[in-house]
Structure 1
Amino acid sequence: MTSATHRSAEEIGRTATGPRELPPLGEQRAAADLAHTDTVLGNGLRVLAVRKPNVPMVELRMAIPFAGDDPAHPATAEVLAETIATGTRRRDRVAIDTELALIGGDLGTAVDPEHLSVSASSLASGLPTLLDVLADVLTEASYVDNEVRRESDRIVERLAVARTQPRVIAREALQRHRYGDHPYTREVPKPEDVAQVTPEAVRALHASAVLPRGSVLVLVGDLDPDAVIGDLERALSAWASEKAARELPALPVLRGGELLLVPRAGAVQSQLRLSAQSLPRTDPRYPALQLANLAFGGYFSSRLVENIREDKGYTYSAHSGFEFTGQNATVQVEADTANEVTAAALLETRYELGRLGLVPPTDADVESVRQYAIGSLLIGASSQAGLASQLLGLAAVGLGVEWLNGHPGRVAAVTTEEVAQAALDFFAPSRFTGVVVGDAETLAPQLTALGGVTVESTGS
């Protein structure tokens, strides 16, 4: 029989003799104290190779800057990402899949407004084959007509469903509200645009945009970091261009302001999305801001979760976290709520934002989030795949293993006072803007009465 009595996170953390004490934070070891090579190939591709031989595998991650101004670019890029590995001059789809299967490997691609990304893996003994397949895809992708048409049809169906999902609608609304018509906002192509993409357009985009100069490749696994550079030089020698891959234009600085209520008639739930300008990982204050974010809403025992999920039951999931785009950084706050408590959830969220600066985390709070931050980083770097993904995100902004190695120490050195200052400087409610997506007829009276919310015109 379960108890009907609700226990708060604080009560769960107590014993009959008092609060559960956190064990002391031990001496911090490096997140990735591994042999590595960080260099640029002759074709302009930056390569970060790391030896991590805990299993006889290799993980490969690549990011190619892939921005475009053409309104048709997102749709064409989506088709390219889905068809780039469906055939080359030397291999058809079956041959590619068969060769990868024989080395215990796979290869996948994805695209967003900033990058075309490649994710692959194989047995360490199969790395030469993996690199040969990768080079073939990068230089000889054929985009045969029937493959492009088939994948385009599948993308149209998938996007038609995706664009009805509340989270996708909320994300698109937030992007428009934050950045207007900046190319970064074009994350989900329109199905009708994808339906118009031709094989010729995909081939032309590949020739002009799938370029090594300015791109990043990360290899992590059972490998020799120095020797693999020569293997890459040979494998990718035909992938060359004097042009550089196209970077996304810089995002404007995000200013605080009113929230926009975006109508979604008949919706029984609302999506609350707040956003404010933050700090890049290279800023000396970033470790303190990272801990302030965790205390606010970055993990389950945070203030926001305790308030609007555990205490009041307004939402099943509330969260805050960072979004890094080039050298830009923002912090996002997210919660989905039932209509009848949306205004109350917004009120409590604003309250917790203000309270973080005015009643900052205590020494015990900071120690708790410090352990969470360092532990999460070390766990993420413990696997080959996790380390490769972490390093790709860092390498895309010019960082590498040295930054990852040093970050636990930087987090360990943060003081409670520095966290308090970061909370006051970056989590003030006035710094945030954002959207509420939901049924305007139901939500508008309470939200506009609460203040700081305007209703989007249905004619806009």
Structure 2
Amino acid sequence: MSRTAEEIGRTVRGPRPLPPLGEQRAATNLSAVDTVLPNGLRVVVVRQPTVPMVELRLRIPFAGDDPAHAARAEVLAATILTGTARRDRVTVDTELALAGGELAAAVDPELLSIGGNVLAGGFDTLLNVLADALTGAVHRDDEVEGERGRLIERITVARSQPSIIARDALQKHRYGDHPFTREMPEAADVAVVEADHVRALHAAALLPRGSVLVLVGDLEPERAVADVAAALGGWQSAGSASVLPPLPEVPPGDLLLVNRPGAVQSQLRLSAKGVVRTDARYPAVQLANLAFGGFFSSRLVENIREDKGYTYHARSYPEFTPSGATLLVDTDTASAATAGALLEIRYELGRLAVNPPTESEVETVRQYAIGSLLTATSSQGGLASQLAALAVLGLGVDWLVGHPERLKAVTVDEVAAAALEFFAPARFTGVIVGDVENLATLQALGGVRLP
């Protein structure tokens, strides 16, 4: 006779007690190599033979000051794997598929990223196709034309989305016309991109010196480095890949109200200066952020979602920028609830500073932070992505392996100090995007600048 889960979990004396959490242990003694090849490419290889696969993450600094750069970079990313002098699109896809692999490219204002995976036995094929794309992609006229049209369609749709409008407004409010703000090109700029523009950008900017290649999987690190050196030996450059110039400081100040006529919801995006991962205060700031709004049981979520019902989703999180870090708070809410949501966000920021997380709260978020990190890095793909994000900041395997211990060492007093220093409401600025005609009550709160 079968029993229900509830019956299994109970005894005649009541519910069965939950066993205590086991100790969370980070991976240690990883077999890894972190080196720089003669062409200037940094290669990080980690052996993790949990499955017979290899994960690849290539990050190439790809900044540009030219206003047309973002559009050309998007088309380049869309066509770099569509054919070379040796392979057309079908051949590229077929060779990867037969090796049990795949590759994809994407670009943002900082980086051109190429990522993928392959069965361990097809690693040589993956490297060969990648090397051919890096050194021999031809960006055929018909491929550029087709991808350009698809990009225009996607950009047109995306730019009508409230979240994209809010992000664009926040970036311009924080950083003005800095190239970092050009996260999505205008459709009109993409429409005038020609194949010659893309080929010229590839030749001038797709450079190994300063780039990072991360490999994680069922491979021997030393041999993998040798394979990479052989496969990518023809990818050469005298100069270095182009990095973004430092961002301007983001001073605290009023929130900018951005008018979106007819909107029935508002997007609230707040921002303040944070700390980089190598700052001694970072672990405490990370835990303070989790307590404030960094996971589902945080103070902010409990207030404006569970208690007030102002929103379905609210969060706070760090964003690591080319020259520093910021803290972000975001939520979407109905126009009628916008002022109330902003009031409660400011209240929770102030409460975190004045009434910092308790010992129980700190322990909860500590376990969450360590557990989330270990879960995220338990798979080959997760570990590769984490290492790639760290590598572009100059960090590596040692930082990742050592972070759980840094989190364990954080005291309640250190979290309180971080909360007071970084989460005071007066440190924030940001934007509210919504229909101004329905947001008149915001003026009663102050600290909001009307358009």
- Give the TM-score band, short-chain normalised: over 0.9
| Cross-structure match for 1:340 | 336
| Cross-structure match for 1:325 | 321
Given the two structures, how large is their TM-score scaled by the length of structure 1?
Answer: 0.93
Q: Deviations over 1:199-238 (max 9, x none)?
A: 0000000001000000000000000001111101100011
CA 450–21 in structure 1, closer or farther in 2 if over 3 Å, else same = farther
| Cross-structure match for 1:203 | 199
| Cross-structure match for 2:36 | 40
Match of 2:397 among 393, 396, 401: 401
| Cross-structure match for 2:247 | 251
Q: Number of aligned pairs?
A: 438
Match of 1:417 among 403, 413, 420: 413
Q: Write the mapping of 1:171-320 to structure 2, written as runs, cut at 5 A.
A: 171-320=167-316
| Cross-structure match for 1:3 | none
Q: Distance in 2 between matches of 1:132 and 1:172?
A: 38
Q: Does 1:113 align with 2:109?
A: yes
| Cross-structure match for 1:97 | 93
| Cross-structure match for 2:67 | 71
| Cross-structure match for 2:448 | 453
Q: Distance in 1 between matches of 2:197 and 2:40?
A: 26
Q: Distance in 2 between matches of 1:168 and 1:140?
A: 34
How many angstroms does 1:23 deviate by? 4.0
Contact 1:88/1:142, CA 8 A, preserved across alignment: yes
Calculate percent identity across the aligned residue pairs: 65
List runs of 5+ in structure 2 lacking aligned partners.
Answer: 1-12
Q: Deviations over 1:15-38 (max 9, x none)?
A: x99xx9994673x53346410000
| Cross-structure match for 1:10 | none
Contact 1:60/1:217, CA 8 A, preserved across alignment: yes
Q: Distance in 2 between matches of 1:328 and 1:162?
A: 28
- 1:434 partner letter: G
Q: Considering only aligned residues, what root-mean-square deviation do their CA atoms show, in Å?
A: 1.5
Moved over 2 A (4+): 20-26, 28-33
Q: Deviations over 1:118-144 (max 9, x none)?
A: 111100000000000000000000011
Q: Distance in 2 between matches of 1:350 and 1:32?
A: 41
- 2:214 partner letter: V
CA 190–313 in structure 1, closer or farther in 2 if over 3 Å, else same = same
| Cross-structure match for 1:437 | 433
Q: Distance in 2 between matches of 1:32 and 1:280?
A: 24
How many angstroms does 1:376 deviate by? 0.2
- 1:129 partner letter: T
Q: Distance in 2 between matches of 1:174 and 1:328?
A: 17
CA 407–194 in structure 1, closer or farther in 2 if over 3 Å, else same = same
Contact 1:309/1:317, CA 8 A, preserved across alignment: yes
CA 454–22 in structure 1, closer or farther in 2 if over 3 Å, else same = farther
Q: Distance in 1 between matches of 2:19 and 2:50?
A: 30
How many angstroms does 1:327 deviate by? 3.5
SS where residue 323 of structure 1 aligns?
strand
| Cross-structure match for 2:4 | none
Q: Deviations over 1:363-410 (max 9, x none)?
A: 000000000000000000000000000000101011000001100000
Q: Does 1:168 align with 2:158?
A: no
List runs of 5+ in structure 1 lacking aligned partners.
Answer: 1-15
Q: Distance in 1 between matches of 2:39 and 2:19?
A: 51
Q: Distance in 1 between matches of 2:27 and 2:52?
A: 20
| Cross-structure match for 1:140 | 136
SS where residue 382 of structure 1 aligns?
coil
SS where residue 441 of structure 2 aligns?
helix
Q: Distance in 2 between matches of 1:416 and 1:301?
A: 18
Match of 2:118 among 119, 122, 125: 122
- 1:172 partner letter: D
Q: Does 1:351 align with 2:347?
A: yes
Q: Distance in 2 between matches of 1:268 and 1:354?
A: 28
Match of 1:381 among 372, 377, 380: 377
Q: Deviations over 1:416-458 (max 9, x none)?
A: 0000000000000011000000001111x211221000112xx
Match of 1:428 among 424, 427, 431: 424
- 1:251 partner letter: L
| Cross-structure match for 1:157 | 153
- 1:130 partner letter: L
Q: Does 1:84 align with 2:74?
A: no
